[in-house]
Structure 1
């Protein structure tokens, strides 16, 4: 029988009272708890061999199709703002409203620096820039940009002797970008300057990616890349035997008023055998038709514990 899995944001982002019918269905469901966080959430549905998480190589395969040739590191365009204590990462990648012209203007100034460093830079996608690395390159730990947004850069830069070289490289790139006339033009147009890069997601492409889902509905590039690597269709269509990405939801009403009711109707009519809800904070619910007899369970009043 068909099944569906919904990837959902943390419950703290979906506040408000639950309708009785939805609260009742969740109270009667099989509940569990996994590790919190975006990476842990995706790893519940995709298994990589070897077991690592090379975001750059995965999205490179989606963007350019040549990920198997090297190791990769994302060098996403970023906007930092200096303050009294240092500088803060305010935006990166897609949030900067980048176009192909931005890469055409800025990359030629950066290419000699990164070429001399032994890691050529290119941009097959306007807001996903890449460094090509030797497969045996020694790399420090790089922080994911989402963890650094709004924070002082110094708290998230790579550490140690190897990290020192990358910090120096970043400083040189920032100088080049700060002085580039294209950024003055962006600022004059009311756009944020591209005055830094963010290194993250290092690694080589996995040997294999597996998932139990037969199709995926998502606009997220990483999830699309994982689906492609697993040989699964990523498309908009019927949510049958599918992983459906709804992590963008910020309205409880959308979830309980538009998304869940028709799926619960399909469970009652036996069109859908299982509905799994996977929240980013680790909360897990599995809903099936037979649970309707758990009459002793009181409806949940809200999502968050």
Structure 2
């Protein structure tokens, strides 16, 4: 445990430069006194750690000192190559960079970890797009990514869902890969999300911008995704399901409905639950897939439509 902490301390100083004992303690989740002892241990083992005094002081490594990656555990070495994401990296224009980086990491690893990393690449593969859907064409992704990296405003021509084209000058804050689809999070008059495949033209401007100091991409995306799902599934339908219907509903009704059914267990012959749906039309089609294992309880107008549909279907099969 301590050896791992010492390595973490060393890599923090190597990657961030000067850090105070308090900063190191917060990062490592230990006491300041423990940091003092660990720094002494590093110094005793030959690592050139220096302490600068004064208000702007802290611990730092001697200029030019770098450690090799010999302190990686087997699992940590595996994770480096599992996280390579060659497909998305290539879409961002970084495919060659990722390949070169992996070669450098391989060269720095000891022999036993080098062969293990090779096995990871042979035996694990990430295929981001969902089933029955190929990867989207994103010809302007590299341009947008360049604007994100360099913190430059970007002018885009964008096709909305309604097929109306609009032009925007935006401050690109981040890119998100969701189920094989790329999304741009950017600030115009407020924070907005754009599907990159709908960008028709993109030009990086010379104008820079200041990122919002409290903006966190992962937090924003989590909140935006939840709001998007609520917007796309605004309607709630009360149904009764047989045990077989409950199991099939988790598979056939999609992820949002499946989440609503998490933790639900059969309560006898029929179980009453509430599930989110996009609209009455979507509900009519989706629930029909469950056949006699589902009964719509509410709303009443949807129940009436189901009854009418079943009667019309029966009429087709009645001589």
Q: TM-score interval w.r.t. the shorter chain?
A: under 0.3
What TM-score do the two structures reach when normalised by structure 1? 0.25
Looking at CA atoms only, which structure, 1 or 2, has the larger radius of gyration? 2
Question: Which structure would you say has the larger RCO, counting Cα contacts within 8 Å and 6 or more residues apart?
Answer: 1
Structure whose residues are more often helix by fraction: 2
What TM-score do the two structures reach when normalised by structure 2? 0.24
